Amino acid sequence: MRWPDANGSRGRDSEVSISAGPAIVAGAGPIVAMGGAEFVMRPHNEALHDYVLRLVRRPGPARICLLPTASGDPQEQISSFHAAMDRRDCKPTSISLFRLGETSVDLEGHLLEQDVIYVTGGNMVNLMALWREHGLDRILVEAHRRGTVLCGYSAGSMCWFEFGVSRGVGKPVSTRGLGLIEGSHCVHYSQDPLRRSAYRELVAAGALPPGLALDDHAAAMFREGRMVEAVRSTESAAARRVESSDGQVIETPIETRMLRPVERCRESALEEMRELRAYLGRSGPGTRRR
């Protein structure tokens, strides 16, 4: 048990114990689980993305690759990711498993040279099935071992845990993830009542191991399988530990640190204005061209 409040009580059924997941490796990269986020330029989104990028230790622009698999690789999402990352000092790319035919991509080579791998939300059942089908499960575990920062929101957050709760077609169901983090995980906790109640029922019944519930704009950072801290980018976003005791669900709030994005946002907005001015007039005090 690698939770901060570990109590060692993991007398689980075989379903759970099979998924022991890959052994935790010293020096493995951090994982940031986000309960919900977007690439739209809003202070709370910007703060989370800055938080993720600050985890990169290598100097120079961070290489960050988007995996939009869970939502079927929609172009609008890919474009808004690029727009969000272009505002920062990083080198964004994306891999679309549905359009691999258009450009030949060395999946393993490309993913293993990233500093950050960012997984979007969508359908977790599809996400896991597609990763297995394309061998990405293995590649992502290897990237993790080599120190790559793994992150994502919604399905892209639950995928790193042993189990998540997928709201696919019909009723929410427990879905197996990569198992890099022990336990279960539920996203959009305060935003999606149907998922929340399904998750609570599954944990209460012992069908899911205890785990982490995150609201939209709440995130938790893990290193070597242990939660290091929880953060939030809006005042109300909460993180909770959910477990069962005698068939009852117990929710324990996890303290979160508020991320302050305002300065960075103002700065980037100013920078954009300067760039725009430079582009339009190619003159004036705002010119950043050397």
Nearest CB to other proteins, comparing residues 101 and 285: 101
Beta strands in the chain (DSSP E): 31-34, 62-67, 90-94, 116-119, 149-153, 161-166, 173-176, 181-186, 211-214, 218-223, 226-232, 239-245, 248-254, 256-258
Under rule CB under 8 A, residue 130 binds other proteins = yes
171 binds other proteins (CB under 8 A): no
Cα 142 to Cα 49, 136, 139, distances in angstroms: 23, 10, 5
Q: At what angle do helices 262-281 and 43-53 cross, to 10 degrees?
A: 100
Nearest approach, Cβ of 242 to other proteins (angstroms)?
Answer: 23
9 is annotated as an active-site residue: no
Verify whether residue 188 is a known catalytic residue: yes
Q: Which residues inside 40-79 make contact with other proteins, applying CB under 8 A?
A: 70-74
- Which residue's CB is nearer to other proteins, number 41 or number 173? 173
Taking residues 91 to 120 in sequence order and writing x for each that binds other proteins by CB under 8 A, - otherwise, the string is -----xxxxxx-xxx---------------
First-to-last C-alpha distance (Å) of the chain: 54
Pick one of 42, 134, 146, 223: the residue that binds other proteins (CB under 8 A): 134
Using CB under 8 A, which of 86, 133, 267, 272 touches other proteins? 133
Query: Contact at 8 Å (CB) between 1 and 10?
Result: yes
Question: Which CB, 14 or 104, lies closer to other proteins?
Answer: 104
Any idea how long the chain is?
A: 290
Phi, psi of 256 (to 5 degrees): -120, 145
Q: Are 232 and 259 in contact (CB under 8 A)?
A: yes
Q: Which is nearer to other proteins, 70 or 202 (CB)?
A: 70
Q: Nearest distance from residue 159's CB to other proteins, in Å?
A: 13
Give CA–CA dist 150/152, Å, rounded: 7
Which of 45, 94, 123, 184 binds other proteins (CB under 8 A)? It is: 123
Catalytic residues: 154, 188
Residues forming the site for other proteins (CB under 8 A): 70-74, 96-101, 103-105, 122-123, 125-126, 128-130, 132-134, 167-170
